[in-house]
A = this chain, B = another copy of it.
Amino acid sequence: MSKELPPWEKAREEFVAQWGSLGTQWGINRTMAQIHALLMTAPEPMCTDEVMEKLQISRGNAHTNLKELVAWNLVRIITHKGDRKEYFEAEKDVWKIFITISKERKRREIEPAIRLLRDCAAQTKDEAAGPGRDFHQQMKDLDEFLSFGVKVGDTVISMKHASALQWAMRLLG
């Protein structure tokens, strides 16, 4: 059934398949990672049916994961006049992808953790000594570390790629 694929499409298929596996280790749904890989390497925006066809998945699955990628701001919807289909286009700029993922993970994963740590610290702020005091301190240490990390992250993602690069180069130099 398979027809002559251009050689680069061969590599692309490997990329899509493997990126999907890697995604699962990152706690990301395999299909979502595959669609992202597919769109990142798509010469043109793709519609749902094209994604279904390329990945051999159902409409519901394609739809759900495309919309999830849109919710992550990693993919945007394109429409052409005179065509009521939606086309999907992934951000390809690596620095922008990085910033987007960083922001999203901060919001979904780091900030809830910080809230938890502060809550637990608050609950034990009167512990004067012993294990209770140690627990309180541990919560504060973790909070402080994550909060500082967020601050650094915020600074970096507010930078232009070139400035961030320059700054990082200074560290390495």
Contact = CB atoms under 8 A, between A and B. Distances in A.
A49 to B, nearest CB: 20
Contacts of A79: none
Interface residues of A, number: 56
Contacts of A138: 40-41, 92
Contacts of A28: 27
A1 interface: no
A10 B123 contact: yes
B135 A12 contact: yes
Interface in A25-52: 25-28, 40-41, 43
A117 B15 CA distance: 7
A167 B155 CA distance: 13
A164 B166 CA distance: 17
Interface in A97-150: 98, 108-109, 112-113, 116-117, 119-120, 123-124, 127, 130-132, 134-136, 138-139, 141-142, 144-145, 148
Interface of A: 6-8, 10-12, 14-15, 18-19, 22, 24-28, 40-41, 43, 92, 94-95, 98, 108-109, 112-113, 116-117, 119-120, 123-124, 127, 130-132, 134-136, 138-139, 141-142, 144-145, 148, 151-152, 155-156, 165, 167-168, 171-172
Closest 3 CB pairs of A and B: A27-B27, A8-B132, A11-B123
